[in-house]
């Protein structure tokens, strides 16, 4: 599998840099098509709060870095020390560890496999896969599922939401005495809202760009709903604000919160920004009566109790390496009979043509003429099967191009 991955994640770069390389989900298909048009290969792009990774058959990491930086209008020197590039079995091992939740900010978190599958489906629906990516991700999904089912890596996994609740409780007291506003109704905020709901907030509201989606989530947590455009009028009513949208620009600005604090008569507010890029202007944390935490901040808190999960992590990686090793050995073994058959076919063709050439020389025919005839016949014989295959099915042309590395 000639698949490579170029990535930047929570281990290699701070949130401020990761923000710059997020792909907007609404325009991801356009970005994928641009990649394929420029680099002439299939592609899958995984872009989440904690990572941006490009899976393709491009073997030159500089080419990938240049495309990524040009696409996001970022100078390449900003990413050089913060990205990673893997190929072959190393790329496969990394992708499996991502899918199984072993490489997540919160070890064992369950959402990542669904995010990888969604990234794959977007490329699949856009006809943006190739013969390398299809088997690659098939194996990623298969082995990720086995690792999660045969280990307890996802058991009692501390979530970002639970870390936020612990911190809020320390600062404000019981969640049941607080009003909570959730901005965004996507998967991350749905998980957060459902977790907060266990602690029965005094009031819960879901704000979203569309009221239908906000209302649907609000019903699940027995809360209210509103449009994001209404936030400025009501935000002063809330003690806790949890935001996670796909907006490319901040939704909550310094001026909005300064006004809210005045109306609240300086009663503190707690902000949880789960979005990448950030939904909340960072300057808000400089106000006297505000607390602002982003994903990286909460991840540090979520690592409490890590010792128990470390044992499962080690077990999961041992299983991953065994599964991957067994698969690679099987692939190599599977290819041996085909390789031998091809060699025997070519050797047989060579022997027959060489025998004819020797007879011609013994007859006194000019050796130069004999050599030219030998070369022509070998070329003709070796071209016979590929040519016949293309004539029988035009779809085989693409495969022939890949095998012989031919250009259009």
Task: Quote the CA–CA distance of 388 and 406 in Å, as a whole number.
Answer: 17
Residue 232: exposure state from Cβ atoms within 10 A (0-12, 13-18, ≥19) = middle
- CB proximity list for 302: less than 8 A, separation 6 or greater: 105, 106, 158, 159, 160, 162, 163
User: How crowded is residue 132: how many other Cβ atoms within 10 Å of its Cβ?
Assistant: 18
Mean pLDDT of the chain: 87
Range among 3-7, 300-304, 343-347 with highest mean pLDDT value: 3-7
Annotation: CATH topology of 160-300: Rossmann fold (3.40.50)
pLDDT, average across residues 122-139 = 93
Cβ–Cβ under 8 Å, residues 291 and 269: yes
What pLDDT band is residue 42 in, cutting at 50, 70 and 90? very high
Domain ranges within the chain, ordered by starting residue: 4-150, 160-300
DSSP class per residue in 36-70:
HHHH-S-EEEEE-SSEEEEEES---HHHHHHHHHH
Annotation: CATH topology of 4-150: Beta Polymerase; domain 2 (3.30.460)
CA end-to-end distance (rounded Å), the chain: 22
Which helix (H) or strand (E) is 302 found in, with range?
Answer: helix 295-302
Catalytic machinery residues: 49
The answer to whether residue 401 scores a pLDDT higher than 90 is: no
Question: Which candidate, 17, 19, 47, 18, places its Cα nearest to that of 32?
Answer: 47
Per-residue pLDDT of 274-326, as tens digits, reads 888 899 999 999 999 999 998 888 877 766 555 556 777 888 888 888 888 88
What pLDDT band is residue 338 in, cutting at 50, 70 and 90? low
Which helix (H) or strand (E) is 392 found in, with range?
Answer: helix 367-392
pTM over 0.85: no
């Amino acid at each position: 599998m000639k698949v490579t991955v170029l990535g930047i994640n929570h281990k290699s770069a701070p949130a401020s840099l990761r923000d710059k390389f997020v792909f907007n989900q609404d325009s991801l298909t356009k970005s994928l098509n641009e990649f394929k048009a420029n680099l002439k290969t299939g592609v899958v792009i995984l872009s989440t709060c904690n990572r941006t990774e490009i899976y393709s058959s491009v073997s030159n990491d500089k080419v990938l870095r240049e495309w990524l930086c040009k696409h996001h209008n970022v100078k390449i020197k900003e990413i050089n020390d913060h990205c990673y590039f893997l190929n072959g079995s190393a790329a496969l091992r990394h992708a499996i560890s991502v899918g199984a939740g072993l490489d997540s900010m919160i070890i064992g978190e369950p959402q990542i496999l669904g995010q990888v599958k969604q990234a794959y489906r977007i490329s699949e629906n856009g006809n943006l896969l190739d013969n390398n990516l299809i088997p690659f991700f098939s194996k990623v999904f298969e082995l990720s599922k086995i690792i999660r089912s045969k280990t307890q890596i996802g058991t009692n996994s501390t979530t970002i939401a639970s870390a936020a609740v612990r911190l809020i409780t320390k600062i404000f007291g019981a969640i049941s005495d607080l009003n909570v506003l959730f901005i965004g109704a996507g998967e991350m905020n749905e998980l957060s809202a459902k977790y907060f709901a266990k602690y029965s907030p005094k009031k819960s509201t879901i704000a979203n760009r569309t009221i239908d989606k906000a209302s649907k989530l609000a019903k699940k947590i027995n809360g209210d709903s509103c449009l994001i455009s209404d936030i400025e009028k009501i935000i002063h009513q809330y003690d806790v604000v949890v935001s996670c949208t796909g907006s490319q620009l901040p939704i909550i600005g310094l001026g909005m919160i300064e006004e809210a604090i005045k109306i609240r008569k300086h009663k503190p507010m707690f902000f949880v920004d789960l979005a990448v890029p950030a939904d909340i202007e960072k300057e808000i944390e400089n106000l006297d009566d505000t607390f602002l935490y982003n994903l990286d901040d909460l991840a540090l808190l979520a690592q409490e109790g890590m010792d128990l999960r470390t044992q499962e992590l080690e077990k999961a990686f041992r299983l991953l390496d065994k599964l991957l090793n067994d698969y690679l050995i099987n692939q190599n073994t599977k290819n041996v009979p085909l390789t031998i058959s091809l060699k025997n076919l070519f050797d047989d063709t060579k022997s027959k043509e060489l025998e004819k050439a020797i007879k011609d020389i013994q007859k006194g025919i000019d050796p130069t003429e004999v050599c030219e005839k030998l070369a022509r016949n070998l070329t003709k014989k070796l071209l016979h099967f590929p040519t016949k295959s293309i004539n029988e099915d035009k779809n085989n042309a693409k495969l022939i191009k890949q095998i012989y590395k031919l250009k259009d």
